[in-house]
Structure 1
């Protein structure tokens, strides 16, 4: 049975995901503007609906991790089994969010393991609270380190067939979702630093989150982009994200103009940096945790 703490962690993770979905304009990614477009509004509505279907699975992952209180191979296997059941539920609810489930599942488990070893499991909203504190950064590092230890174990119950993401990773030598987790989610940590820096620089919350997303996009070897656009397309998207940040970020007129250009280009080409979206959701989840 899940505890109130486990349910709270799951709800916080889903809130981070829906917060990412509500952000606009996100270059190449679904956002609320799609509700005004006949060809895509159903997709965005389905994504918002299916995000809520993650809650039971994430709560079960938190409960398993809290009970085990160590990043063991057995816990990794249990998380994998819960994850596959949750993916089936997602499909029934409209699909999407498989990448976010991987990120949020490991991070939720990391929080629960940490709380089982004397850490705090409290969750609070920090929207607009300013730069990330040193204590909050330290806690985020501990959680991502635990997630890294979990990801290092093989998922003994995983089907033998490769996923599209793993196949693309092998083809192009990209880290992919597994590599990101096994490195301790460096792009989640970079997004957290970008959030803090943008807030400290006077950006509003939406602008700070967009800057965090662009920070991830500027360096992530996104396997979805590699699949659809190839290495040249990936580098073009990374350069476009860097151009926005180098122009001063989305809080500046030059940065907003560069963002609009990148957004128009990605939508015209149907290129979607989905991996960056899931990692931003992970950063927003950690951002919502009390230090």
Structure 2
């Protein structure tokens, strides 16, 4: 399979009128966002086209295969969003679909967790997008997703024992659930504004996406980093990512030197910013949604927010 970036699949194209066709299109957008995220290079500590980062059990081909395997689950969630009005019934349906999607992922990857966090984050967002296809701006979609995240799922396991859940308990951070219930602040206030500002400055697309990732890493309490390296590693990642951006990011020689220092340190610590990667994929998904059929995507409504607002993943 060819490793290419960036994808322009359906970017900002009007969604089909029928709910089934619309669900298929939305699922394709999720799949392409996940593939674009893993293909983006270079990314410190993460799987990309150069290698496995801080992971021994993951590679680019496996991540792409996982994203493709999950497309039917995202399509089913989107269709549920279009067809089910009752919040509790919808929340429990997409919860079940998400758990089924996770089982399909684990079967396809031989038991390796490739996209567990993304199933939660992008599952909520694709459902929310399908709920109101006439209101596809990033903020309205995230707001609907937050309301869904706050609805209890009676059939969800009380405890999963996953590393992210343990990190939330051990370090008092909100994790992926906290990020969703808060309306995805790191997507709306950090990743999307950074992405759009970099584009507006004429920075090439892959560097703009890396800048959005670094902006997220610099301010996110990433449970993937905490689970592997604890608070010291998290502080090092946040400080290092901010330093790369302060030096101009990948667009400048100084920024590239700072990036190499950050990556070397993260690999030595064996940490990977998986939470930030999931939120970047979410930002890429929201970025390519049309606000309304035939209308250009929304301008940056979060430009008044400070990128240093601190949230959780």
On the 8 A contact 1:211/1:245 being kept in 2, the answer is yes
**Counterpart in the other structure of 1:181:** 180
Matched, 1:6 2:23: yes
Q: 1:2·1:59 contact (CA, 8 Å) conserved in 2?
A: no
Mapped contact 2:135–2:141 kept (Cα < 8 A) = no
Q: In the alignment, does 2:89 pair up with 1:74?
A: yes
Aligned to 2:294: none
Aligned to 2:47: 30
Measured after TM superposition, the shift of residue 249 of structure 1 is 2.1
Distance in 1 separating the partners of 2:37 and 2:159: 31
- Are 1:14 and 1:55, in contact at CA under 8 Å, matched by a contact in 2? yes
Q: Is residue 46 of structure 1 aligned with residue 62 of structure 2?
A: yes
Match of 1:274 in 2: 274
When residues 5 and 48 of structure 1 are mapped into structure 2, their CA distance, relative to the original with a 3 A threshold, is same
State the 1:290 CA deviation. Answer: 1.3
Deviation per CA, 1:121-177, whole angstroms, max 9, x where unpaired? xxxxxxxxxxxxxxxxxx100000000000011121112224332221122111100
Tell me what 1:63 maps to.
79
Following TM superposition, by how much is the alpha carbon of 1:201 offset from its aligned partner in structure 2, in angstroms? 1.1
Distance in 2 (alpha carbons) for counterparts of 1:195 and 1:42:
26
What residue number does 1:87 align with?
Answer: 102
Match of 1:98 among 116, 121, 129: 116
| Correspondence for 1:111 among 129, 141, 159 | 129
Q: What is the CA–CA distance in structure 1 between the aligned matches of 2:227 and 2:57, rounded to whole Å? A: 24
- Residue in structure 1 matched with residue 156 of structure 2 by the alignment: 158
Are the aligned partners of 1:64 and 1:75 in contact in 2 as well (CA < 8 Å)? yes
Could you state the TM-score of these two structures normalised by the residue count of structure 2? 0.82
Runs of 4+ in 1 over 4 A off after TM superposition: 39-42
| Structure-2 separation of matches of 1:41 and 1:160 | 28
Secondary structure of the residue aligned to 1:54 is: helix
What are the residue-to-residue correspondences of 1:190-269 with 2, within 5 Å?
Answer: 190-269=190-269
CA distance in 2, matches of 1:194, 1:262: 19
Per-residue deviation, 1:206: 0.4
C-alpha separation between the residues in 1 aligned to 2:267 and 2:231?
A: 18
In 2, Cα distance between the equivalents of 1:114 and 1:245?
A: 36
Conserved 8 A contact 2:233-2:269: no
Summarize the Cα distance change of 1:2–1:85 in structure 2 as closer, same or farther, 3 Å threshold. farther
SS of the aligned residue for 1:153 comes to coil
Question: Matched residue pairs, number?
Answer: 268
**Corresponding residue of 2:170:** 171
Identify if the C-alpha distance between structure 1 residues 276 and 42 changes in structure 2 by more than 3 Å, giving closer, same or farther.
closer
Q: For 2:143 and 2:123, how far apart are their aligned partners in 1?
A: 14
More helix by share: 1
Distance in 2, matches of 1:167 and 1:246, equals 33
- CA shift for structure 1 position 269: 2.2
Q: Quote how far apart the aligned CAs of 1:41 are.
A: 9.0
Runs (5+) with no aligned partner, structure 1: 121-138
Give the distance between the partners of 1:195 and 1:161, measured in 2 at CA: 35
**Residues 281 and 271 of structure 1, relative CA distance in 2, 3 Å threshold:** same
User: Kindly tell me: are residues 68 and 225 of structure 1, through their superposed partners in 2, closer, same or farther at Cα, counting changes over 3 Å?
Assistant: same
